[in-house]
Amino acid sequence: MRSLDLDALRCFVLGIELGSFAAAAERLNRSPSAASAQLKKLEQQCNTSLVTKIGRHLEPTEAGEIILAYARRMLQLNDEALNQLVENSLTGKVVFGLQEDFSDVLLPQLLGVFSRSHPNLQLQSIVGRHQELMDGIQSGELDFSLGWRGEKSAPYSELLAELPLYWYGPANKYLKESINISKPVPLVMLDGSCIIRQQAIAALDRKGIPWKITFVGRSLSNLWSAVDAGLGVTVRSSFSHPDTISKLDGLPVLGKLRLCLDRNQYKLEKVQEQLYDELKQQLTLYIKK
């Protein structure tokens, strides 16, 4: 029975996720030729081609899609097992804050795995608005947090990406057609302190398009429910949204928001730094998909 090489699988997964095996090689501190050799080795082990080039991008073949799914599961199990053996002594407490935009993706995918890999670690996550997270950073309640950069920033802030904003409405075509986006535009928003709300209104005002606030929510889930019900349109990034919501055309182009990891000290403790680094790596991969 043949065995698949885990290092080759890791290089393969990274190459597909980053769209480049040269980028994967750089991430893994290897030469491009070494990454190509690992891909060739994996294809020999599988006895089939795993990637194809479409334009400037690499795409997995049908066999590559199958291997990609298994590879991710195998690598996750491998990493969890090693963490249990090598770093099972990792103890302490990490309090991590994040805005609601990211909780559906990060809480189950990253924090759940991290928590299971380190059973002796007390991990606490707090979902809140920008101002709440900044107050938590300043007071020391939070070790670090993930969110949009606003007017108030943390003592130490690392920029991860600039993500464009989009208009969203209900995916249901009948509800979408019932929303009149000519005048005035019905807006579903958070309260006035929300930086996304401010950008949306500014974009409409620059084009001289009248608007009205039809719903004010206290949370992101409130906004999605209101948009899904046909009460109006809203603005968010493309990071995560329900299947019942879709992007809208025909409204002014919006700006971008800076996604940052914020902390209150330059050097984190070992346990905090490990979660910080894993979070940063997973976010970088997710954004590049």
**Mind listing the pLDDT tens digit for each residue in 173-186?**
766 676 766 679 99
Q: Among residues of the chain, what percentage have pLDDT more than 70?
A: 91
Write down the pLDDT at residue 206. Answer: 93
Mean pLDDT within 93-117? 79
- Radius of gyration of the CA atoms of the chain, in A: 22
Task: State the pLDDT at residue 254.
Answer: 92
Name the domain boundary from 85, 119, 140: 85
- What local confidence, expressed as pLDDT, does residue 200 receive? 93
Per-residue model confidence (pLDDT) at position 171: 86
Q: What DSSP character marks residue 111? A: I
pLDDT at 257 over 70: yes
Q: Is the pLDDT of residue 271 over 90?
A: no
Write the CATH number for 69.
1.10.10.10
Tell me if 239 is assigned to some domain: yes
In this structure, the answer to whether residues 252 and 280 fall within a common structural domain is no
Residue numbers of the domain that contains 101: 92-161+258-288
pLDDT at res. 85? 63
Final residue in a domain of this structure, among 50, 69, 85: 85
pLDDT value at residue 249: 86
Query: Are 14 and 63 within one domain?
Result: yes
The per-residue pLDDT for 288 is 63
Q: What is the pLDDT of residue 234?
A: 94
Whether the pLDDT of residue 282 is over 70: the answer is: yes
Assess whether 156 and 169 both reside in one domain.
no
CATH number of residue 135's parent domain:
3.40.190.10
**Whether residue 147 sits in one domain with residue 13:** no
Q: What percent of the chain has pLDDT over 90?
A: 18
Same domain membership, residue 243 and residue 172: yes
166 lies in the same domain as 242: yes
Residues 218 and 76 in one domain: no
Do 56 and 68 fall within a single domain? Answer: yes
Q: Which of 37-51, 92-106, 192-206 has the lowest average pLDDT?
A: 92-106
Residue 177 identity: E
Q: Mean pLDDT lowest for which of 60-64, 200-204, 277-281?
A: 277-281
Q: What is the mean pLDDT of the chain?
A: 84
Q: Is 34 in a helix, a strand, or coil?
A: helix
Tell me: do 206 and 218 sit in the same domain: yes
pLDDT at 3 over 90: no
Residue 1 resides in a domain: no
207 in a structural domain: yes
The confidence score (pLDDT) of residue 83 equals: 66
pLDDT digits (tens, 9 = 90+) for 46-69: 989 888 887 767 788 899 899 988
Closest to 152 (Cα-Cα) out of 175, 135, 167, 170: 135
Which residue, 45, 70, 85, sits at the end of a domain? 85
Domain co-membership, 56 together with 128: no
Asked if residue 100 belongs to a domain, the reply is yes
Q: What is the DSSP letter of 150?
A: -
- Alpha carbon of 258 to those of 23, 158, 165, 261: distances in Å? 23, 10, 11, 10
178 inside domain: yes
- 113 and 189 share one domain: no
Residue 29 in domain: yes
Lowest mean pLDDT across 52-61, 63-72, 90-99, 124-133: 52-61
> Are 169 and 253 part of one and the same domain?
yes
How does residue 76 score in pLDDT terms, banded at 50, 70 and 90? confident
Give dist(CA 250, CA 207) in Å, integer: 12
Q: What total of structural domains would you count in the chain?
A: 3
How much is the pLDDT for 211? 94
